[in-house]
Amino acid sequence: MDKAFNGMLFERHSIRKYKAQPLPAEDVKQILEAGLLAPSSKSARPWEFVCVEDADMLAKLAECKPAGARPIAGAKLAIIICADPEKSDVYVEDCSVAASYMQLQATALGIGSCWIQVRNRFSADDNPAQDLVQALLGIPASMQVVAILTFGYSDEQRNPVDPAKLKWEKVHIGQWADDQQ
């Protein structure tokens, strides 16, 4: 077990408030590399990543749904994760793995991030949240927007997870058992 990696997992948290400090281009490249390195079913790699750093565009993207999208407005970088459903019947899983890789790479670089759900979410006037995202960024209608990842140096205090609080009752050894600890 790599103790440093394990420790990083305990320290990772969703970060929704960011410092004004910009992200180094080399770090952004490494985050994107992590996404491109992610495994995908049948190696189809159905995902596409749209990177946005422009503050005005980030503020507009934050309007895609009424709750839970505010972090986009203050982020230094957003990566919109979308996919062509024709390229994979499990594109949601593929996109989710790529997103997790990018979030963990960001954590390793000391950069905070948050997953903003777009798929199955709706705007204030009840249109799919992805409609605004697609219109703003010119994403073809054939693509499905799964999520927006926000990135920036953390401007909030989050404590590492206490190992004693892990829900080991969710782990079932050998067969399903409600009373296993």
Ligand X SMILES: Cc1cc2nc3c(=O)[nH]c(=O)nc-3n(C[C@H](O)[C@H](O)[C@H](O)COP(=O)(O)O)c2cc1C
Contact residues toward ligand X (CB under 6 A) are: 13-14, 16, 68, 71, 114-117
Q: How far is the CB of 158 from ligand X (least distance, A)?
A: 7
Q: How far is the CB of 57 from ligand X (least distance, A)?
A: 18
Round to whole Å and give the CA distance between 97 and 35.
8
Nearer to ligand X, 116 or 143 (CB): 116
- Read off the tokens for 153: 């140096």
Nearer to ligand X, 58 or 140 (CB): 58
Nearer to ligand X, 14 or 123 (CB): 14
Nearer to ligand X, 101 or 115 (CB): 115
Q: How far is the CB of 25 from ligand X (least distance, A)?
A: 26
Q: How far is the CB of 177 from ligand X (least distance, A)?
A: 26
